[in-house]
Amino acid sequence: MIVVPGPASTSLGEEIAKLLSAKVVGVEHKTFPDGESYIRLTDSVRGEKVVVVQSTGPDQNKNLMELFLLVDTAYRLGADSVIAVVPYLAYSRQHKEYRPGEAISAITMAKLLKSLGADGFVTVNVHDESILGEFPNPVNVSAITQLASHFVEEGMAGAFALAPDDGAVDIAKEADSVLRGGYGWLEKTRDVITGEVSVEEKRLGIEGRVVIIFDDMISTGGTVVKAAQLALKQGAARVFAACVHPLLVGGALDKILDAGVEEVVGTNTVPSPVSRVSVAPVIAEALSKQV
Ligand code: R5P
């Protein structure tokens, strides 16, 4: 197995390779003046089982195009097989048609990877597992135990794990299996046109408690802000936030901190100022089972 760290995941790819004792393939890349991406593999991949590691956080379109170029080039240069490791899968939130006529972008991603011939697909806490079957030999690993363990190491064992919506209940449950302070969830609705988030008032029984909001991703921060406001209103003593994919667009981090969240912790699926937990060990473990 050899590892090709894509431009969006250079250090993560190298960390995974190190854990697998696998060779790292050099990647030369640049952006042409008109915005198009250039990719060149600087080492041979002929006859090898190749693992391409390329996350697709912002700039999503550029990172996706580089992913497709890397997978296709590895095959063209004679790779025996190619596994696409896409720690954060862009376009995964549109996994169904909310309004008639919408593109189902998550399925489009799967079709593109399949049509390039990818033999396998590894991702981390995919937004909705229902799309996984569309991908070639999919593996979806979770980084929630690692995130929760980080908080335990920081002295937060016994904290209450809060899911900001019912889609994150399993995440809060998994976090609770480490924190052991109980878990709960909120009922969130998002306007499909404006994106505005509203959260239903719900008694959580968290007075005086340390609360950690767990979600798969933080984008604008709107979801975490609403959840934090509600937790503080109900008497939470301290509120933290944790997510796997810290997209943190448009001043999200400041917005969340201003809402009273003490600290935000994310993983390195998307490099960010809060990426304190590495997903390399869980990805390396999943890959080692595939050899
Ligand atoms: C939605 O279902 C996701 O799990 C996240 O809650 C959401 O994408 C976060 O987005 P934002 O930070 O913009 O509220």
188 is catalytic: yes
- List the pLDDT tens digit at each of the 291 positions of the chain: 999 999 999 999 999 999 999 999 999 999 999 999 999 999 999 999 999 999 999 999 999 999 999 999 999 999 999 999 999 999 999 999 999 999 999 999 999 999 999 999 999 999 999 999 999 999 999 999 999 999 999 999 999 999 999 999 999 999 999 999 999 999 888 888 888 888 888 899 999 999 999 999 999 999 999 999 999 999 999 999 999 999 999 999 999 999 999 999 999 999 999 999 999 999 999 999 986
What's the pLDDT at 192?
Answer: 83
Locate the domains of the chain by residue range.
Answer: 2-142+278-290, 144-268
218 lines ligand 1 (CB under 6 A): yes
pLDDT of residue 291: 62
CA of residue 169 to ligand 1 center, whole Å: 13
Q: Which of 194, 216, 226 to mutate to test the pocket of ligand 1 (most atoms within 8 A of CB)?
A: 216
Q: In Å, how far are 2, 117, 236 from 82, measured between CA atoms?
A: 10, 8, 48
Helix-helix angle 10-20:280-288, to 10 degrees? 50
Residue 288's closest CA among 90, 105, 16, 62? 16
Question: From ligand 1's centre to the CA of 220, what distance in Å?
Answer: 8
Contact 41, 25 (CB under 8 A): yes
Length reported for the chain: 291
The confidence score (pLDDT) of residue 202 equals: 86
Please report the pLDDT score of residue 198 as a whole number.
84
Instruction: Output the six-digit token pair for 75.
Output: 């095959």
Among 127, 165, 217, name the best residue to mutate to test ligand 1's pocket (greatest count of ligand atoms within 8 A of Cβ): 217
Give residue 127's Cα distance to chain centre. 8
Answer yes or no: CATH 3.40.50.2020 is held by domain 2-142+278-290. Answer: yes
Evaluate whether 2-142+278-290 and 144-268 have a shared fold.
yes
In this structure, which topology does domain 144-268 adopt according to CATH? Rossmann fold (3.40.50)
Under a CB-based contact definition with an 8 Å cutoff, are residues 163 and 206 in contact? no
User: What residue's CA is closest to ligand 1, atom 5?
Assistant: 217
Whole-number Å distance, alpha carbon 173 to ligand 1 midpoint, is: 18
Q: Are 90 and 106 in contact (CB under 8 A)?
A: no
pLDDT at 166: 92
